[in-house]
Amino acid sequence: MFYRINMATLAVNEDEGIAYQGLGGRALSSHIVEKEVDPNSHALGDGNKLVFVTSLLSGTGAPNGGRMSLGGKSPLTGTIKESNVGGNMGHKLGRLGIRGIIVEGLPQDDKTYIIKASTAGVLLEEMPALKGLNIYDTVAKLQEKFGAKVAIGCIGTAGENKMASACVGFTDMEGCPTRQAGRGGLGAVMGSKGIKAIVADDSGAKAVPFVDEAAFRAGGKKLANALLTHPVTSKALPAYGTAVLVNILNEAGGLPTQNFSTGRFEGANNVGGETMAENIKERGGKVGHGCSPGCIIRCSQIYKDKKGEVLTGGFEYESCWAFGPHLGVDNLDDVALMNRLCDDYGVDSIEMGVAIGVAMEAGVIKFGDSQGAIDLIHQMGKATPLGRILGAGTETTGKVFGVRRVPIVKGQAIPAYDPRAVKGQGVTYATTTMGADHTAGYAVTANILGVGGKIDPLKPEGQVELSRNLQIATAFVDSTGLCLFVAFAILDMPEALEGIVEMCNAQYGWNKTVGDYLEMGKQALRDERAFNKAAGIGDGADDLPDFFRKEALSPHDVVFDVPKKELDTVFNF
């Protein structure tokens, strides 16, 4: 069932969503946005919609199948945006039989609303007490009212202040808001619509129906076995989290340091996954924490400060990088505090970190000044003029301060893999419909990890094909609700993909092939590109900032040299 919420009238209507049958997650979100949102709309205006959708496997308990998608036109990039998130919301909405909640229009007043989903359906409720609260406090207040077991997604002050890099924070299985629909500023869209939170209570929900439950379970087992066998998903990720990549990328010379000035950072190990695991061991906390129902990879963690108080969790490589090497900071506790502050104010940690790095390049504060960086995040939270600049994202920060080295594509910050030394990532950043997004075609696999083959990360050859195939496959994976990390297994173990196909077919009684599912991914990409083109963002925008093509990166002394003409072939399918 779909629900449409009209914020102008406060009406909530059920909608069978006939046009959207057979889709889930990213494919569904992008299709709705492409069909229903005028690409010329202002992202914060009444023409934009905020879409919460579940995925093909939501609510089933499929291994690592708990993710969902948020969609809309991005206030950060002006492109279409699908922001994929873990935590416990996707599973609960799936169990409630909800395929999508489409929030339309703008409210006529300045009140604070929440969306409540339960077996009684979807309701809109005014909740003035939440106004002005940050995410941890919002979650606490909602748990007080609705109990500790509900799933919550909410915005902090950044979203209420309509900052273009505001995220939506989601609770994990412990009810802690450590997961974010982070990129592209959908928190600001939520704020513009007066929605402070979405709450899902699945108590009393019936089990999700399967057309062929036995076949589903068999498919799930294949995938689970693969995940429990592959070295990345069974060893590295549970032991150290994604931050295991700090030392790996540093070794590869692709760890962007001090605003993409060099590819190696002297203090890398101090902010890497190994140090994180040591600190957790010493202080308590947890490694091998799963963020969403069904997770068997468990790359998340709970990180405590020196006093043993919980500081943050879901503390990813990209955040460690953004507040660490990118800023020239090598103190993991400072990095963890910055991550916590971003999660609490409700802003994308990648965008915020990269923006601070650009402010450092402008001389606002010095590289390495972690206290200064923490202060800047507080300024963002307080919405001072300087804080608002940073909250508007990296491109805006660069423009306001007249900086020429601004690591963005289509208005979104380039994350933690230098595109000169990990050229497959460079192709993905340059061409993805989402603005620079590392997850859209994660070429770190074949470029760095030797997963799914090996392609020399320093050479331009083969990167376009690698990125194209990954972008198509990812668009499909992001439609299933499966965590993208299942791709490690898929790329090396045929039975993983078989298991996924079998699960999807068994749940819906379909007889689709791998090709059919990849076609779903292709169609998502086509929808997204059609939206972007109509919004005025043409193929010319599919490139990296010119400094990546001109400034050689140490230690490998490489520039980004995949020709623009080749970039233009990524979507030749």
Q: Which residues bind a copy of itself (CB under 8 A)?
A: 38-42, 44-47, 75, 161-164, 188, 191-192, 384-386, 388-389, 391-392, 396, 399-406, 410, 532-543, 545-547, 550, 564
Shorter beta-carbon distance to a copy of itself: residue 331 or 384: 384
Assess contact for 263 and 556: CB atoms under 8 A. Answer: yes
Question: Residues of 90-114 as b/e, b for ≥16 C-beta within 10 angstroms?
Answer: bbbbbbbbbbbbbbbbebeeeebbb
Rounded Cα gap, residues 312 and 310, in angstroms: 6
Shorter beta-carbon distance to a copy of itself: residue 210 or 547: 547
Closest separation between CB of residue 128 and a copy of itself, Å? 20
Shorter beta-carbon distance to a copy of itself: residue 429 or 485: 429
Shorter beta-carbon distance to a copy of itself: residue 101 or 535: 535
CA distances to 210, 216, 473, 533 from 514, rounded to whole Å, are 20, 16, 10, 29
Rounded Cα gap, residues 41 and 78, in angstroms: 9
For the four alpha carbons of 46, 47, 48 and 52, in that order, the dihedral sign comes to positive
DSSP label at 166?
A: B
Shorter beta-carbon distance to a copy of itself: residue 210 or 401: 401
Rounded Cα gap, residues 82 and 99, in angstroms: 15
Element (H, E) at 338: helix 332-345
Shorter beta-carbon distance to a copy of itself: residue 90 or 411: 411
Shorter beta-carbon distance to a copy of itself: residue 334 or 542: 542
Closest separation between CB of residue 456 and a copy of itself, Å? 25
Closest separation between CB of residue 75 and a copy of itself, Å? 7
Shorter beta-carbon distance to a copy of itself: residue 60 or 77: 77
The candidate with the shortest Cα–Cα distance to 480, out of 87, 23, 89, is: 23
Closest separation between CB of residue 192 and a copy of itself, Å? 7
Shorter beta-carbon distance to a copy of itself: residue 11 or 534: 534
Question: Residues of 326-354 as b/e, b for ≥16 C-beta within 10 angstroms?
Answer: bbbbbebebbbbbbbbbbbbbbbbbbbbb
Closest separation between CB of residue 165 and a copy of itself, Å? 10
Assess contact for 433 and 525: CB atoms under 8 A. Answer: yes
Shorter beta-carbon distance to a copy of itself: residue 162 or 326: 162
Assess contact for 349 and 342: CB atoms under 8 A. Answer: yes
Rounded Cα gap, residues 166 and 502, in angstroms: 37
Assess contact for 77 and 26: CB atoms under 8 A. Answer: no
SS3 label, residue 394: helix
Assess contact for 298 and 290: CB atoms under 8 A. Answer: yes
Closest separation between CB of residue 158 and a copy of itself, Å? 10
State the pairing for strand pair 113-118/195-200. parallel
Shorter beta-carbon distance to a copy of itself: residue 228 or 534: 534
Closest separation between CB of residue 159 and a copy of itself, Å? 10
**Residue 189 in tokens:** 């869209």
Phi, psi of 196 (to 5 degrees): -85, -35
**Residue 294 in tokens:** 């069904």
